[in-house]
Amino acid sequence: MPTRTGTPLRRALPMALAALLLPLAACGSDDDNASEPKPAKKPATAETPRPGTQKVTISWKGEKRVYTVHAPPGFKRTEKLPLVVAMHPYPGDGKAAAAISGLSAKADEERFLVAYPDGLDKAFNAMICCGTADDVGFIRTMTKRLTTTWNADPDRVYATGISNGGDMSYKLAVELPGTFAAIAPVSGGFLGTDAEDASYVPKTPVSVITFLGGLDKYYASMDAGIKTWQRRLSCEPGRPSELKNKIKRTTAKCRDGSDVVVHRLPDMGHSWPGGAGGGMSDPAAGVNATDLMWEFFKSHTKKPS
């Protein structure tokens, strides 16, 4: 299976990705005047739960890792809000994920938290692409911080993403059991070597809503991937219903109690249907993925294991 990127033509990740890392050294210069005391270094400060958007930097496994948190107006830590983890394509970052999805505006309307993690070298080590970073461990750490420091509801934690970030949603569902109640991969797939292993399946129920473009170069592979997911979980898809623009919506109930909803959009490419902005948004797709995934998330809380 070839590697993919978040661009429409999804090129392979260059071997020189490591060279793109920003220097991690602190800024500053030596003071030549030894007689003057040097100012004390300010201690690192943790994020402060508050309304609005803030970028958080942590040191994790020797790397500087970054994520951005958005909280709705009037947010107080006494609230126990749902959390959506939204992941960018390759190449991209949390800012790109926010721009494409419009999830921050949705969070303001519906009152939930959104976290946008940055992958190293603008990528996540997902199903078939990219890099070697332990992004599963990083996102686990980030999610735990958000359920403690920000008091996010651990029973209402969700994941979404587009392209490389959509692939990562599937990986998190399998490799972080008991963490996510539901995922919403957009133009992403259950693909690659791991997915070929019959034992690679969620050990706790994780419901799925996904959006696949019929004009996407990787449509056939992504369509096969969601069918594999349903087969392994003994899901029983119902008869497809046709929406506007010839979009077909299929729902399935799985043996573990999870649900799978698939939107197949025949005229969409490698995009976010109804996206808020950027080259990967398709405002004419016929459905709005952000609205639909949030309605799906609201109806799914973590099931007892």
Phi, psi of 95 (to 5 degrees): -60, -40
Asked whether the beta carbons of 228 and 189 are under 8 A apart, the reply is no
Considering the domain boundaries, does residue 17 fall inside one? no
Tell me what pLDDT residue 7 has.
Answer: 41
Give the mean model confidence (pLDDT) for residues 132-137: 96
Q: In this predicted model, what pLDDT tens digit does every residue of 75-125 receive, in sequence order?
A: 999 999 999 999 999 999 999 999 999 999 999 999 999 999 999 999 999
Tell me what pLDDT residue 36 has.
Answer: 39
- Domain membership of residue 165 as a residue range: 48-298
The answer to whether residue 156 scores a pLDDT higher than 90 is yes
Count the neighbouring beta carbons within 10 Å of the beta carbon of residue 73: 9
The answer to whether residue 190 scores a pLDDT higher than 90 is yes
> Which two three-digit tokens encode residue 178?
């008991």
Considering the domain boundaries, does residue 1 fall inside one? no
- At a CB cut-off of 8 Å and minimum separation 6, what does 39 contact? none
Considering the domain boundaries, does residue 212 fall inside one? yes
Give the mean model confidence (pLDDT) for residues 67-73: 98
Give the mean model confidence (pLDDT) for residues 124-141: 96
Cα 53 from chain centre: 17
Asked whether the beta carbons of 148 and 111 are under 8 A apart, the reply is no
Of the listed ranges 15-29, 158-172, 189-203, 218-232, the least confidently predicted one is 15-29
Tell me what pLDDT residue 3 has.
Answer: 45
Number of domains in the chain: 1
Residue carrying structure tokens 């929406």 = 243
Asked whether the beta carbons of 130 and 164 are under 8 A apart, the reply is yes
Q: Which CA distances in Å does 244 have to 171, 185, 249, 267? A: 31, 21, 10, 11
Asked whether the beta carbons of 170 and 87 are under 8 A apart, the reply is no
pTM: 0.86
Tell me what pLDDT residue 201 has.
Answer: 96
The answer to whether residue 295 scores a pLDDT higher than 90 is yes
Cα 277 from chain centre: 17
Tell me what pLDDT residue 93 has.
Answer: 97
DSSP conformation letters of the chain: -----SSTT-PPPPGGGGGGPPP-SPP----S-TTSPPPPPPPP------SEEEEEEEEETTEEEEEEEEE-TT--TTS---EEEEE--SS--HHHHHHHH-HHHHHHHHT-EEEEEPPGGG----SS-S-S--HHHHHHHHHHHHHHTS---TTSEEEEEETHHHHHHHHHHHHSTTT-SEEEEES--S-HHHHHSTT-S-SS--EEEEEEETTSTTHHHHHHHHHHHHHHTT-EE---EE-GGG-EEEEEE-TTS-EEEEEEETT--SSEET-SSSTTEETTSSS-HHHHHHHHHHT--PPP-
**CATH number of the domain that 216 lies in?**
3.40.50.1820
Rounded to the nearest integer, the mean pLDDT of the chain is: 87
Tell me what pLDDT residue 245 has.
Answer: 86
Confidence of residue 279 (pLDDT cuts 50, 70, 90): confident
Considering the domain boundaries, does residue 21 fall inside one? no
Considering the domain boundaries, does residue 197 fall inside one? yes
Considering the domain boundaries, does residue 155 fall inside one? yes
Considering the domain boundaries, does residue 285 fall inside one? yes
Give the mean model confidence (pLDDT) for residues 8-32: 34
* CA atoms 21, 24, 27, 29: torsion sign: negative
Q: In this predicted model, what pLDDT tens digit does every residue of 46-63 receive, in sequence order?
A: 689 999 999 999 999 999
The answer to whether residue 8 scores a pLDDT higher than 70 is no
Considering the domain boundaries, does residue 7 fall inside one? no
Confidence of residue 305 (pLDDT cuts 50, 70, 90): low
